[in-house]
Structure 1
Amino acid sequence: MSSTGALPQTLKSITTTKIRELSKQRVLFDRKKKQIVADATAAQDLRAKARILLDGLSSLKGYPKDPLDQDDMDLDLPSYYRNEDGTGLNTHGMGQLFQADHTNIRRFLLQARYDASISDNMVREWISKLENELQFLELKHEHASFYTKLVTEWLSNLDESTSSPEIAGASFEKVGRVEMHEQRAIWEELVFTPGDHVDKDSIRAYLDNLFTKSKLSRQALELLRGDMHKLGSELATQGEWLDEKSLEWVSDALMNSDMLSDEKTNILKEFMRNKEVHQEVADVLNMRLASLESWNWGNDGIPVEMRRQLNGKYRVFMDADLLDSLMLQYLGTTWAVKFRSTASKFFRSLAWTPVQEDIPEEYREKRKYFTQDTEPDQIQGINGERTSRYQSDYFMSQLPETVMEGSRNYDDDSKSKNALETKHSLLHLLITESIIQKELRGEFTAIRSDYQWFSPGLSHATILTVLGYFGVPEVWLNFFKVFLEAPLKFVQDGPSASTRVRKRGVPMSHTLSDFFGEAVLFCMDYAVNQDTHGGILYRLHDDFWFWGTEETCNRAWLGMTSFASVMGLQFNMEKTGAVRMGSAALTKNTILPQGDIRWGFLVLDAEKGRFIIDQAQVDQHIEELDRQLSSCRSVFAWVQAWNGYFGRFFTNNFARPAMCFGRDHIDMAISTLSRIEKTLFSKTSDGASQGKGGVTDYLRSIMVERFGVRDVPEGFFYYPVELGGLGLLNPFVRLLAMRENIKQTPQKRLHRAVVADEEDYLHTKQEFKSSRHSTLPYGEKATSSMTLEEFMMYPETFSSNWLEAYLDLRHVPEELSVSPTASFSKHQSGLESRRSTKASPISSRWELMTPYWRWVAELYHEEMVRTYGSLAAVNREFMPLGVIKTLQQDRFRWQG
Structure 2
Amino acid sequence: MASSEILTETLHAVTGFKITELGKQKQAYESAKQSLLKNASNETDTRKRVQLLVDESEKLPGMSHLGRHPLHDLDDLRYFIEQARFDPSISEHALADYEKTVRNQLDAQTAKYDFAELYGELVKEWTSSNKAIGSDSAGEFVSLGREEMHAQRTTWEEYVFHAKETDAAVIKAYLDELFAKNPSKEVVNEFEGLRSRIKRFQEGWDNLSYFNEEVVAGCIRSILRSDVLADSKRSALGDFLGNRIVLNEIADVMNMRMATRSSFALDGPTVIEQRRQLNGRYRFYPDEDLLQMIFLQYIGLKWAVELKEALRMFTFADDVLKSPSQKLSKQALRRRQFFLNKSSALPEGSVAHQNDLTWRTTIFLDQLPNQMFEKRGAYGNEKPDDEEDDHRASPLKVAQELVQRIQAHLIIQKKLNKDTTVIRSDFKWFGPSIPHNSIFTVLEYFGVQEEWIDLFRKVLEAPITFKDDAPGSEPRIRKRGTPIGTPLASFFGEALLFCVDFAVNQRTDGAQLWRLHDDLWLWGEDESCSKGWDTLTEFSDVMGLDFNEEKTGSCQILAAESTEQGTTFTNLPSGDVVWGFLKLDAASGEFVINHEKVDIHIEELDLQLKACNSVFDFVLAWNLYGSRFFLKNMGKVAGSTTRQHVHALLETFQRVQARVFKASNGSVGQHLKRMVQDRLGVSDIPDGFLYYPTVLGGLGLQNPLIYVNLVGNSTVESSEKFMESFFKDEEKEYRSKKRFFEELSESNEGFAQPTAWDWSGDAVGQSGRAARGYPEPTGEWADLKDEPFMSFEEFVEHREVTSLHLGVHYTRLLADHVEHEIKVMSELSLSPGYRGVDGKPWTDYEKWVIQQYAKEMLARFGGLYVVEKGLLPAGLTKMLLQSRFTWQN
TM-score, normalised to structure 2, is: 0.92
Does structure 1 residue 598 correspond to structure 2 residue 602? no
Tell me which residue corresponds to 1:888.
881
> What is the deviation of 1:239?
6.4
What is the CA–CA distance in structure 2 between the aligned matches of 1:122 and 1:260, rounded to whole Å? 63
Tell me which residue corresponds to 1:57.
57
Tell me which residue corresponds to 2:832.
831
What is the CA–CA distance in structure 2 between the aligned matches of 1:609 and 1:346, rounded to whole Å? 36
TM-score, normalised to structure 1, is: 0.91
Q: Specify whether residues 375 and 768 from structure 1 end up closer, same or farther in structure 2 by C-alpha distance, changes over 3 A only.
A: closer
Q: Specify whether residues 413 and 97 from structure 1 end up closer, same or farther in structure 2 by C-alpha distance, changes over 3 A only.
A: closer
**1:663·1:742 contact (CA, 8 Å) conserved in 2?**
yes
Unmatched 5+ stretches in structure 1: 61-88, 684-689, 842-847
Superposed CA offset, 1:337-357 (max 9, x none): 111111111221222212314
Q: Specify whether residues 765 and 407 from structure 1 end up closer, same or farther in structure 2 by C-alpha distance, changes over 3 A only.
A: closer
Does structure 1 residue 120 correspond to structure 2 residue 92? yes
Aligned pairs for 1:775-814 within 5 A: 776=777, 779-782=781-784, 783-814=787-818
**1:340·1:399 contact (CA, 8 Å) conserved in 2?**
yes
Does structure 1 residue 849 correspond to structure 2 residue 842? yes
Tell me which residue corresponds to 2:42.
42
Superposed CA offset, 1:283-317 (max 9, x none): 11111222112222244x22111110111111101
What SS class does the counterpart of residue 297 from structure 2 fall into? Answer: helix
Does structure 1 residue 576 correspond to structure 2 residue 552? yes
Q: Which deviates more, 127-136 or 373-382?
A: 373-382
> What is the deviation of 1:259?
1.6
Superposed CA offset, 1:425-475 (max 9, x none): 111111122222334452001111111111001001111110011011111
What is the CA–CA distance in structure 2 between the aligned matches of 1:869 and 1:28, rounded to whole Å? 20
Does structure 1 residue 819 correspond to structure 2 residue 823? yes
Tell me which residue corresponds to 2:451.
475
**1:352·1:530 contact (CA, 8 Å) conserved in 2?**
yes
> What is the deviation of 1:855?
1.7
Does structure 1 residue 340 correspond to structure 2 residue 340? no
Tell me which residue corresponds to 1:79.
none
What is the CA–CA distance in structure 1 between the aligned matches of 2:675 and 2:66, rounded to whole Å? 28
Aligned AA for 1:428?
Q
Q: Specify whether residues 113 and 724 from structure 1 end up closer, same or farther in structure 2 by C-alpha distance, changes over 3 A only.
A: same
What is the CA–CA distance in structure 2 between the aligned matches of 1:578 and 1:229, rounded to whole Å? 41
What is the CA–CA distance in structure 2 between the aligned matches of 1:148 and 1:580, rounded to whole Å? 57
**2:15·2:873 contact (CA, 8 Å) conserved in 1?**
yes
> What is the deviation of 1:362?
3.1
Q: Which deviates more, 807-816 or 302-311?
A: 807-816
Q: Specify whether residues 21 and 527 from structure 1 end up closer, same or farther in structure 2 by C-alpha distance, changes over 3 A only.
A: same
Tell me which residue corresponds to 1:449.
425
What is the CA–CA distance in structure 1 between the aligned matches of 2:361 and 2:344, rounded to whole Å? 25
**1:233·1:473 contact (CA, 8 Å) conserved in 2?**
no
What is the CA–CA distance in structure 2 between the aligned matches of 1:696 and 1:47, rounded to whole Å? 43
What SS class does the counterpart of residue 447 from structure 2 fall into? Answer: coil
Aligned AA for 2:781?
G
Does structure 1 residue 700 correspond to structure 2 residue 673? yes
Of 144, 148, 160, 1:175 maps to 144
What is the CA–CA distance in structure 2 between the aligned matches of 1:53 and 1:598, rounded to whole Å? 66
What SS class does the counterpart of residue 817 from structure 1 fall into? Answer: coil
Aligned AA for 1:871?
L
Q: Specify whether residues 487 and 827 from structure 1 end up closer, same or farther in structure 2 by C-alpha distance, changes over 3 A only.
A: same
What is the CA–CA distance in structure 1 between the aligned matches of 2:267 and 2:98, rounded to whole Å? 77
Tell me which residue corresponds to 2:198.
228
Q: Which deviates more, 492-501 or 634-643?
A: 492-501
> What is the deviation of 1:223?
1.6
Q: Which deviates more, 416-425 or 320-329?
A: 416-425
Aligned AA for 1:536?
Q
What is the CA–CA distance in structure 2 between the aligned matches of 1:720 and 1:308, rounded to whole Å? 28
What is the CA–CA distance in structure 1 between the aligned matches of 2:156 and 2:730, rounded to whole Å? 56
**1:723·1:840 contact (CA, 8 Å) conserved in 2?**
no
Tell me which residue corresponds to 1:158.
130
What is the CA–CA distance in structure 1 between the aligned matches of 2:525 and 2:266, rounded to whole Å? 50
Does structure 1 residue 262 correspond to structure 2 residue 231? yes
Does structure 1 residue 464 correspond to structure 2 residue 463? no
> What is the deviation of 1:419?
1.0
Aligned pairs for 1:507-656 within 5 A: 507-582=483-558, 583=562, 584-587=564-567, 590-656=570-636
Does structure 1 residue 415 correspond to structure 2 residue 415? no
Superposed CA offset, 1:67-99 (max 9, x none): xxxxxxxxxxxxxxxxxxxxxx34432576369
Tell me which residue corresponds to 1:730.
703
> What is the deviation of 1:115?
3.4
What SS class does the counterpart of residue 59 from structure 1 fall into? Answer: coil
Q: Specify whether residues 112 and 414 from structure 1 end up closer, same or farther in structure 2 by C-alpha distance, changes over 3 A only.
A: closer
What is the CA–CA distance in structure 1 between the aligned matches of 2:243 and 2:334, rounded to whole Å? 69
> What is the deviation of 1:184?
0.6
Q: Specify whether residues 508 and 321 from structure 1 end up closer, same or farther in structure 2 by C-alpha distance, changes over 3 A only.
A: same
What is the CA–CA distance in structure 2 between the aligned matches of 1:613 and 1:405, rounded to whole Å? 35
Of 235, 242, 253, 2:222 maps to 253
> What is the deviation of 1:401?
0.3
Aligned AA for 1:697?
Q
What is the CA–CA distance in structure 2 between the aligned matches of 1:176 and 1:677, rounded to whole Å? 27
What is the CA–CA distance in structure 2 between the aligned matches of 1:386 and 1:340, rounded to whole Å? 20
What is the CA–CA distance in structure 2 between the aligned matches of 1:602 and 1:657, rounded to whole Å? 13
> What is the deviation of 1:219?
1.2
**1:603·1:611 contact (CA, 8 Å) conserved in 2?**
yes
What SS class does the counterpart of residue 473 from structure 2 fall into? Answer: coil
What is the CA–CA distance in structure 2 between the aligned matches of 1:27 and 1:364, rounded to whole Å? 86
**1:447·1:547 contact (CA, 8 Å) conserved in 2?**
yes
Q: Specify whether residues 518 and 23 from structure 1 end up closer, same or farther in structure 2 by C-alpha distance, changes over 3 A only.
A: same
Aligned pairs for 1:645-724 within 5 A: 645-683=625-663, 692-724=665-697
Superposed CA offset, 1:675-710 (max 9, x none): 110111114xxxxxx8x3311111111111111211
**1:171·1:493 contact (CA, 8 Å) conserved in 2?**
no
Q: Specify whether residues 91 and 225 from structure 1 end up closer, same or farther in structure 2 by C-alpha distance, changes over 3 A only.
A: farther
Q: Which deviates more, 598-607 or 770-779?
A: 770-779
What is the CA–CA distance in structure 1 between the aligned matches of 2:852 and 2:349, rounded to whole Å? 45
Does structure 1 residue 757 correspond to structure 2 residue 757? no
What is the CA–CA distance in structure 2 between the aligned matches of 1:653 and 1:226, rounded to whole Å? 43
What is the CA–CA distance in structure 2 between the aligned matches of 1:319 and 1:575, rounded to whole Å? 30
**2:504·2:532 contact (CA, 8 Å) conserved in 1?**
yes
Q: Specify whether residues 116 and 797 from structure 1 end up closer, same or farther in structure 2 by C-alpha distance, changes over 3 A only.
A: closer
**1:58·1:102 contact (CA, 8 Å) conserved in 2?**
no
Does structure 1 residue 748 correspond to structure 2 residue 752? no
Q: Specify whether residues 712 and 365 from structure 1 end up closer, same or farther in structure 2 by C-alpha distance, changes over 3 A only.
A: same
Aligned AA for 1:820?
V
> What is the deviation of 1:105?
2.1
What is the CA–CA distance in structure 1 between the aligned matches of 2:377 and 2:93, rounded to whole Å? 67
> What is the deviation of 1:378?
4.9
Percent of paired sites with the same residue: 35
Q: Which deviates more, 21-30 or 482-491?
A: 21-30
> What is the deviation of 1:571?
0.8
> What is the deviation of 1:585?
4.7
Aligned AA for 1:133?
Q
Q: Specify whether residues 374 and 452 from structure 1 end up closer, same or farther in structure 2 by C-alpha distance, changes over 3 A only.
A: closer
What SS class does the counterpart of residue 786 from structure 1 fall into? Answer: coil
> What is the deviation of 1:47?
2.6
Aligned AA for 1:111?
Q
What is the CA–CA distance in structure 1 between the aligned matches of 2:68 and 2:599, rounded to whole Å? 46
Q: Specify whether residues 429 and 162 from structure 1 end up closer, same or farther in structure 2 by C-alpha distance, changes over 3 A only.
A: same
**2:857·2:863 contact (CA, 8 Å) conserved in 1?**
yes
> What is the deviation of 1:840?
7.8
Supply the RMSD in Å over aligned alpha carbons: 2.1
Superposed CA offset, 1:110-147 (max 9, x none): 23333344333332222222222211111111111111
Work out the number of aligned pairs and report it.
844
Of 730, 741, 745, 1:768 maps to 741
